[in-house]
Amino acid sequence: MLITKIYQPNEVKIAAKELKLGELIAFPTETVYGLGADATNEQAVKRVYLAKGRPSDNPLIVTVASEKMITKYTGPLSSKARKVIAKFWPGSLTLVFDIKPGSLPNAVTGGLTTAAFRCPANNVTRKLIELAGVPIVGPSANSSGKPSPTTAQHVFHDLEGRIAGIVDDGPTQVGVESTILDLSTEKPTILRPGGVDVTEIEDVLGEKVISDKHTVKNSEIPKAPGMKYRHYAPDAKVLIVRPNQWQSVFEWTEKQKDPIGVMATSDILASYKKNEYSYDLGKDVVMASRRLFAGLRYFDEMNEVKTILVAEFPEDGLGMAYMNRLKKAASNQYFE
């Protein structure tokens, strides 16, 4: 079995050498941990799909260290692209562009004529890419369909023995993946809500952005991750709890023979008696977004927990990204 090494930030030179040799290296970003391979090496990219158990028609995000790195694949960028890059890169915004034919392997693009690019707000990872000298693919570093990893330990749990190494830069700060903005279409379109709010993008572009195209049909190839397959789900059943339901929830959990996992804000949990099966999401949606995946993973480790109840937040700002992930984890099921 492959030995998965843990690299500290000062060891990125060694990790970059592994990437250049075609190995898989997990890396930190401000959102979640990604699984890296040389994006120009088709065989290495195919191993990413195998390591994750990911469907091969689900395209991969290309992670870069700078704007300059992407023009080799896209050609000159539009004024719209330069505006959003100037404002949001490095950061939690992924951009979809038309690319030059044959410039990236089909294993990266899913056979599409577009590709998604992101420059993360993590100095360690940008240094890793610079030292490798190539862009790297960057899907979340977890088993496909499971909650995304927000620590190196989460990655090790899922992918030990399947990847060469993990660069450990501590817990991530945002906790939900990047916003994906499609700039290959006439109208800028959000394909996945995330760390950057649609209103921020509209302010920069000075125009309306389409923001309701988050899924595709089974017969379609998605342009971006998270649009087609079940995502972010633990083994236990997940149910969403509306703000006015918590008293009913607590009364219901008291009557259950099996323990029920409860993920809610600090103020709600203050009145919950069964604290041994609770997970604190913090005081607001910012903290809840950071802790959502970690909480789902926390209960995934408890075989006795078959049901997890998770707090709903209003679907605006970062709440749109939080609820997008939670609804996928819960298959859109609410506590009734």
Query: For strand 237-241 and strand 260-264, is the pairing parallel, antiparallel, or unpaired?
Result: unpaired
232 in a labelled binding site = yes
List, in order, residues 6 or more apart from 85 with CB less than 8 Å away: 67, 77, 95, 119
Question: Which tokens belong to 189?
Answer: 């379109």
Distance CA 108, CA 27 (A): 18
Report residue 250 CA to chain centroid gap. 31
Instruction: Determine the residue type at 229.
Output: Y
Q: Which DSSP string corresponds to 252-287?
A: HHHH-SS-EEEEE-HHHHTT-S-GGGEEE--SSHHH
297 in a labelled binding site = no
Sign of CA dihedral 58, 148, 234, 332: negative
Q: Please, are residues 91 and 179 in contact by the beta-carbon 8 Å criterion?
A: no
What is residue 106's three-state secondary structure?
Answer: helix
List, in order, residues 6 or more apart from 206 with CB less than 8 Å away: none
Query: For strand 114-118 and strand 34-38, is the pairing parallel, antiparallel, or unpaired?
Result: unpaired
Q: What is the 3-state secondary structure (H, E, C) of 64-86?
A: CCCCCCCHHHHCCCCHHHHHHHH
178 in a labelled binding site = yes
54 in a labelled binding site = yes
Distance CA 259, CA 301 (A): 13
289 in a labelled binding site = no
Distance CA 324, CA 336 (A): 20
Q: Please, are residues 59 and 225 in contact by the beta-carbon 8 Å criterion?
A: yes
Going from the C-alpha of 270 to that of each of 250, 258, 274, 280, 283, the distances in angstroms are 12, 22, 10, 10, 12
Binding-site residue ranges for ATP: 54, 58, 114, 118, 140, 148, 192, 232
Residues annotated within a binding site: 31, 54, 58, 114, 118, 140, 148, 178, 192, 232
Q: What residues form the annotated binding site for L-threonine?
A: 31, 178
